[in-house]
Amino acid sequence: MSTSTSPLALPFPSLPAIPGVSLRVARARYKNWDRCDLTFVTLDEGTSVAGVLTTSKCPSPEVEWCRKALPLGTARALVVNAGNSNAFTGNRGRAAVEAIAARTAQHLGCEPSDIFVASTGVIGVPLPIDKAEAGLDAAYTAEPCAWEDAAATIMTTDTFAKGAMTTAVVDGRTVTLAGIIKGSGMIAPDMATMLGFIFTDAAVDAMFLQRVLSEANGTSFSCITVDGDTSTSDTVLAFATGKAGNMPLANDDDAGADAFRAALADLCRKLALLVVRDGEGAQKLIEITVEGAESDRSAHRIAMSIANSPLVKTAIAGEDANWGRVVMAVGKAGEPAERDKLAIRFGATQVAQGGLAVEGYDEAPVAAHLKGQEIEIGVNLGLGEGRATVWTCDLTHGYISINADYRS
């Protein structure tokens, strides 16, 4: 965890308690640090669950465990370990996850499959079962904690705790959605090392919750990148306790289904942007919008090509409106594009159009825009109706410094 807070950090918001959710933290001492590093969340009986997980072909045992448990649709607890990702650890890693789930299930009197586990940190070091069990024992007897404590405990290289909330009216009742997230580096789409946990008191059928979470992921967590690297451990889980008393949401025709879908999408976007704001070494938040593509999918791929370009990201770090690098990133994306129809803007200023620079465009507003902390790049391909927006950050010396000595 860095000692220097990101200049893009936002203060932790006031999040309300979610009925049916109890948060606790403890010190498992996975690393030689003086902080809590195990988060233990208990969930009342009747809680439904959904999740989206990394697409990495080298997933952690925790990801495999969650993937197997999610189709069952029920949850009683969440355990999150920070400082050790337990990824690429073979049978020892799997044994650690099984031990955590079994010990927690025994404590709660439920099935191990009702326990969800996530870990984040260094790859290749088996999670010490003795430390995990000692941390769990401490968590069982700890006093409930605040959202911000839980958000801080799941951090690794993050520089600030991240949380957000929203509400929706469902079946005539106001339901609350709150979430915490961690992530700073190894962030790329198809999840993004990102762990996110969403809790709501709404009653939602697990299959419907899975559908709307997957939809929300498509316009949030899968639209962010810090460095183009997809983690072995990326996990976002949503838990619905049903304590709000609404008629359970099971399909699109249910009262409040659209409102809940919109609220969840809004919450996921808020959480995703917090991760980009804490990108390792980040000084600027960059929003990239691609329009006029042949399809939304094509627009997304082009936008991510721009967002993942080290040349684009370093130009923004240097406050240089080098739109030629944007042209490069569009051209290499492998998607339909026509040079002589391409248009590019920085902020509100059009800098290139019709395949060449806009003659005599005023550089002053562009320079002023690039000196700010929130940068907009717009691209219009002039080919169709496809559109996508993604978010990234600049690439600075800070990113190198953090990752050059990550294990030390």
pLDDT tens for 141-150 read: 999 999 999 9
Answer yes or no: pTM beyond 0.85.
yes
Mutual angle of helices 90-108 and 129-141, in 10-degree steps: 20
Using alpha carbons, select from 267, 206, 173 the residue that is nearest to residue 47: 206
pLDDT of res. 42: 98
Residue 188 predicted with pLDDT over 60: no
Q: Which of 176, 193, 225, 230 is catalytic?
A: 193
Using alpha carbons, select from 289, 292, 286, 291 the residue that is nearest to residue 312: 286
In the sheet where 349-353 sits, what is the strand order?
356-357, 349-353, 343-346, 374-380, 285-293, 386-393
Report phi then psi at 395, rounded to 5.
-115, 115
The predicted model gives 294-313 an average pLDDT of 95
The predicted model gives 159-184 an average pLDDT of 95
Strand ranges (E), 103-171: 115-122, 162-170
Label the pairing between strands 173-182 and 115-122. Answer: unpaired
Pair of tokens at residue 44: 């009342």
pLDDT of res. 142: 97
Task: Work out the number of other CB atoms within 10 angstroms of the CB of residue 371.
Answer: 10
Q: How confident is the model at residue 395 (pLDDT cuts 50, 70, 90)?
A: confident
Q: Give, in order, the Cα–Cα distances in Å from 85 to each of 102, 107, 208, 219, 235.
A: 19, 24, 30, 26, 12
Residue 191 predicted with pLDDT over 50: no
Binding site, by residue number, is: 156, 182, 193, 280, 403, 408
Q: Give, in order, the Cα–Cα distances in Å from 233 to each of 92, 101, 216, 348, 382.
A: 16, 17, 19, 38, 38
Residue positions counted in the chain: 408
Residue 24, amino acid: R
Binding site for substrate, by residue number, is: 156, 182, 193, 280, 403, 408
Which domains are assigned to the chain? Answer: 21-277 (3.60.70.12), 285-404 (3.10.20.340)
Lowest mean pLDDT among 2-11, 156-165, 174-183, 303-312: 2-11
11 DSSP 8-state letter: P
Average pLDDT for the chain: 92
Residue 314 falls in the annotated catalytic set: no
Share of the chain above pLDDT 90, in %: 81
Residue 406 predicted with pLDDT over 80: no
